[in-house]
Amino acid sequence: MDRAAADRLLHRPTKAAGVSRAITPHGLRRSVATNMLAQGLPLRDVQLQLRHADPRMTMRYDQGKNSLDRAAVLPYASAQYGMLATN
């Protein structure tokens, strides 16, 4: 399925539900990822669900800047991907 087909698939139900904002597949994906992290799902599990190779990409969805999960992943990301481990 291409992006246009996914957009069309979401358009009708959101319009029928009276949602005035455009709902995109990417926006839906971001919302689900952010909610999974907010509910306490481990960052690594969300990373696997989203098929992100680099944990830094998944960390963008983590709204809790002081989460224990983030603290555990930063040293790993630093070693694997050359990321500076700063908080």
Q: Is the pTM of this model over 0.85?
A: no
**pLDDT confidence of residue 75:** 57
d(CA 87, CA 68): 12
d(CA 62, CA 33): 8
Q: What is the average pLDDT across 11-24? A: 84
Confidence of residue 85 (pLDDT cuts 50, 70, 90): very low
Q: What is the average pLDDT across 12-17? A: 85
Is residue 33 within 8 A of residue 46, CB to CB? The reply is yes
Which pLDDT tens digit goes with each residue over 53-73? Answer: 988 888 888 766 545 455 555
